[in-house]
Structure 1
Amino acid sequence: MRGAARRPVHHDLLDDVRYCRQAYADAGFDVLAIDQTSPEQRSVGLHTVRVVVPGLVPIDFGWHKQRALSLPRTRSAFRRAGWRTTDLGPEELNRVPHPFP
C-alpha cells in the first residue's frame, strides 16, 4: 500500500488491539468499545464487543443506505495522508468504496 506505515509484529492479540487503538487516537479519532456479551456467552467464557470509530467510513449494506459519499473524510483522506494537495471532487469519488458492495 502506497505510503502505508509498517505495522509491528505482536505475539499477543491484546497488543494488536492497543496498537490499533493508539493509531486511531494519534490520527484524532475516538475509539468506542461496547461490550455486547449475552449472559449465555458469558456463562461459557465468550465475549462479544462492538468497536465504533466515529468519523471513519461506515460499511453500509444496501445502495439506498449509503452514507460514505457524504462524509467529509471521504473527500479529504488522500490530502490529509499527503498523497495529493487537494480534496477529491465529486467526480473523483469511488462510488463503491468497500470491497463487498
Structure 2
Amino acid sequence: MIRKAVTMKVFEGCHEEYRKRHDELWPEMEEMLIEHGMHTYSIFLDEATHTLFAYLEIADEELWAKTADTEICRKWWSYMKDIMETNADNSPVSFDLKEVFYLHK
C-alpha cells in the first residue's frame, strides 16, 4: 500500500461548505476513486490557516494519476473551484508532503 499526504487550501468562510460537499460526495466520484486504487482517503482542516491535509492509501501511483483524466473528477474540480484554491484547469492547488516518520505495529 502506498501512503500519500497532500495539502490544499479552502477559502476562509467556506469551511462548512467544503465539509457539506464532501458529506454529500457523489456516488460516481466514490466509485471512480475506488476503481483507481483508493483504499483510504481522509481530509483534515486546520481552521486557523484554512489548510486541508489529505491522507490517502492507494494501490498504484500510475493508476491513481489517471483519476485526473476522468470526466467525473473534472466535474468535481469544477464544482469545488469556488471554495478552494485551484489551478487553471480547476484542479486543486496541492502540495505533496514527504514522509519523514512512520510507526506501524
Q: What TM-score, normalized by structure 2, do the two folds share?
A: 0.30
Q: What TM-score, normalized by structure 1, do the two folds share?
A: 0.30
Structure with greater contact order relative to length (CA < 8 Å, sep ≥ 6): 2
Q: Name the one with the larger strand percent.
A: 2
